Structure 1
């Protein structure tokens, strides 16, 4: 086999992968079609090695599904599609950063339950938040609020914890947070007995976003090296 060609096992070992994984990546269009040695076996060039390195470098920042779509688009010479996918991934990271800031701001603005007033009803709470009563009922139907019912009148009664939850939901909604994504956060607030212990959660979230950003930089460098080599090869 010529020196510039590698067997699937050689390419796999260099990255701690299985030979089948290399074949799967080729079949998925992540790698260009393999060369063939004189005896008909698959053989990969330095360009394939760069493509594999680029794909693996893209995963930490973009995730494997997006990395797969990006590499597949470049393999098909669909450059505009690939660049759009990269832009969308960066936009998602920016949106996640904005959401994190909104959550952090919402948590900081909440007063502790111990310093709150007593029970209230749907009308006064809605006016306090600048909302319609129907909005509070919608949040209740979504499982985000759980006011108790007055035994005599049947009216909804919001205790201090309910009011805190309503304020948190309101601020998160203003920050663009979807109802489905608010539910897990509320569950953590309730389990912790307040918002104070969630500081570590936000720190971990920020760390993961930072890692994604750095991963995108690393992935961009590896992808650029692959594309430059591919252009030179052509």
Structure 2
């Protein structure tokens, strides 16, 4: 087969196939007398495996898995597969934790705080972060502290405490500051419950999709390994 023959199945260009070849994603190709690459069904299955793995592992990790296979280091390939599954399992647990925490935090009317509003240090101790983190969240638009009339210092009422607790949970889930800010803003605008429902459903959908991609990639890789093991 020629590069274009492999490319056609996946809507790729012949140059993309040559790039994958040079990157070690495909096994070494033989050359014709005139110098053209010649591919076999093994190359076609290696390409299917890479493209399927890429959906769950990303480009770099998928390429690393195929390179490990091609240098005969299947143990390293299996370890890379395992790492992705462990990371997915950890994220599932984090989502459950976040859902549980946000379920009690993100109400339309934040629960009142007993006594006066909290200072920077008090809020930082309450949620287990450094005071500088709270200022970073404020700069990102996540927190909106008020100012004490007498001292001018930042103070955090019920709404700000709720937003800080939400931010802590989402940051533990690996979300970037801009994503946390967008969620908190949506929560304010939607009054709480609808934004929370959509957020958690989207997160679950992403986890499910990644799980399916990991399964599909493993299946295609298994098919490729079977071809390599044939005489």
TM-score range, shorter chain: 0.7 to 0.9
Q: Aligned partners of 1:164, 1:120: CA distance in 2, in Å?
A: 12
- Aligned with 1:148 (options 123, 136, 146): 146
Alignment of 1:7-156 (within 5 A): 7-110=2-105, 112-114=107-109, 116-117=111-112, 120-122=117-119, 126=123, 131=125, 135=129, 137-144=131-138, 145-156=143-154
Report if aligned partners of 1:122, 1:157 keep a CA contact under 8 Å in 2: yes
TM normalised by structure 1 equals 0.83
Report if aligned partners of 1:121, 1:155 keep a CA contact under 8 Å in 2: no
Asked if 1:184 corresponds to 2:179, the answer is yes
Q: Aligned partners of 1:91, 1:122: CA distance in 2, in Å?
A: 39
Q: Aligned partners of 2:98, 2:177: CA distance in 1, in Å?
A: 10
Shift of residue 124 of structure 1?
Answer: 9.9
Shift in alpha-carbon separation, 1:153–1:73, aligned structure 2, 3 A: same
TM normalised by structure 2 equals 0.84
SS of residue matched to 1:142 = helix
Structure 1 window deviating more from structure 2 (115-124 vs 6-15): it is 115-124
Q: 1:222 aligns to what?
A: 220
Shift of residue 27 of structure 1?
Answer: 0.3
- In the alignment of these two chains, the number of paired residues is 222
Asked if 1:165 corresponds to 2:159, the answer is no
User: Structure 2, unaligned stretches of length 5 or more?
Assistant: none
Shift of residue 206 of structure 1?
Answer: 0.7
Asked if 1:231 corresponds to 2:229, the answer is yes
Shift in alpha-carbon separation, 1:9–1:199, aligned structure 2, 3 A: same
Q: Aligned partners of 1:123, 1:75: CA distance in 2, in Å?
A: 55
Q: Aligned partners of 1:16, 1:148: CA distance in 2, in Å?
A: 56
SS of residue matched to 1:143 = helix
Q: Aligned partners of 1:152, 1:71: CA distance in 2, in Å?
A: 64
Report if aligned partners of 1:66, 1:85 keep a CA contact under 8 Å in 2: yes
User: Structure 1, unaligned stretches of length 5 or more?
Assistant: 1-5
Aligned-CA RMSD value = 2.6
Shift in alpha-carbon separation, 1:41–1:200, aligned structure 2, 3 A: same
SS of residue matched to 1:40 = coil
Q: Aligned partners of 1:62, 1:153: CA distance in 2, in Å?
A: 52
